[in-house]
Structure formats: structure tokens, C-alpha cells
Amino acid sequence: MKLRLLTLDQSITQTGWAVYDTPGPEQSIICGSFSAKEPADDDDKCDLFATEVRKLRTKWKPDFMSWEMSSRKISGFQKNADFVDEQMAAMGRPRFTVNAKVLMLPELQGILRGIAVAYLIPHEAVPVTTWRAGMLHNGNMDRDTAKRKAKEMCRMLRIKVANHNEAESAMICLWTAQASQKFKMLRWRREVDEEAQLPASP
């Protein structure tokens, strides 16, 4: 019995996706990507992202969805000083800000979860350290190293990818197929249902 996985490495700039009919050879994984960066308004970006994901759901009809879990920790960085910042510093308050694009990642994850729930698709958000440890053998490597190793792994497994986002989505897809307890439970339930529908032996 085959189950179809749809996995995403989500981002406004470029989202990689992978589709895998498992069990099956790794090289049968189909990868692609799309961008939602063109609309100027952030709400429009999210709407475009949701539309693209819904298209993927309609085209591939997955049995299970997974994606990279968005971090709940928002990192700040020091701003270049301006007049207001100097006044804040004079009051003993640090000049820090956050990357607005990072703030959108939890919203994108919410869109993915909403689509999965709306279409009754079992799903899982996979922590980045988890899939990197499982597929790249190091959960704490830096972002650029992880991108390079993901592409190297795809080349070794003969998975066709056009960019590092597609490569990372393929790695998340393989991790889900091999290690996700939620996916294994889904397979077990489907097998039990399938056996229950078989005609009784004479």
C-alpha cells in the first residue's frame, strides 16, 4: 500500500516542496518551488502563499503533509542608530529590532496547518534540528552548511532539485517517511482498514 507525502520548506522568498509515493525509490521524489515575494503587502504575500499551497493539495492529493517547524524564538539584532534610537539608548534601553520576514514564518505555518486541517489531512511540523540530525547527521549545523549538504544528499540519492529549498524539502520528506511516528501510525491504520475490507477466507 502506497501513501503520498507532501512536504514543504516554507518561506515567502522561496518555498520548496516535495512529493513522495512511499514506499518507493528515493529518486522518484518530485520536487518544485514557488515564490510569494512579489506582492508588496504582507497580507497579499500570505494570500498568494495559501493559494499556491492549495494548488499543490489539489494537484497531488496527499495522504500526509509535513513541513519544517517555525521557530518560536525570534532573534533580534542591533539597529543602526537614528535620533529616536539615541534617545532610547540615553534612557538605558538597547537599540534592537527583529527581521520582519522572520515574523511571517509562524503565519505561514498556520496557513499550512489550516489547509491540512480543512482537508482532513494528517500532518506534522518537524523541528529543523530533528530532520537535519536524521538526514544530515548533524542537527546543529549552520544554515549554509545544511543547504549545501542537503543538495549533496539529493545528488547522491539521484533526487532532482533545482535549488537548496527543494533539496531541504526532499530531506524533510525522507525524514517523514522513515522516522515520523505520526506517519507510521497513519500507515498502520490504513493497513488495518485495508485488511478489514478483505473478503473472509473460505
**pLDDT tens digit string along 4-18?**
999 999 999 999 999
Prior bond to 23 cis, omega within 30?
yes
Where residue 126 sits, what CATH number does that domain have? 3.30.420.10
Say what the pTM is.
0.84
Does 87 map to a domain? no
Average pLDDT over residues 12-28: 96
**pLDDT tens digit string along 137-170?**
998 899 899 999 999 999 999 999 999 999 999 9
Does 99 map to a domain? no
Q: How far apart are CA 151 and CA 148, in angstroms?
A: 5
In this structure, what C-alpha cell is assigned to residue 112? 499550512
**Whole-number pLDDT of residue 70:** 86
Average pLDDT over residues 169-197: 94
Number of structural domains the chain divides into? 1
Q: How far apart are CA 78 and CA 76, in angstroms?
A: 7
Q: ∠ at Cα 53 (4, 147), nearest 5°?
A: 80
Lowest mean pLDDT: which of 28-37, 77-86, 111-120, 150-159? 77-86
Does 63 map to a domain? yes
Helix %, strand %, coil % of the chain (to 5): 50, 15, 30
**Whole-number pLDDT of residue 84:** 47
Does 86 map to a domain? no
Q: How far apart are CA 142 and CA 164, in angstroms?
A: 14
Using alpha carbons only, how large is the chain's radius of gyration in Å? 20
Does 84 map to a domain? no
Which domain, by its residues, includes 19? 3-70+105-197
Contact 126, 68 (CB under 8 A): yes
Contact 78, 98 (CB under 8 A): no
Does 20 map to a domain? yes
**Whole-number pLDDT of residue 96:** 55
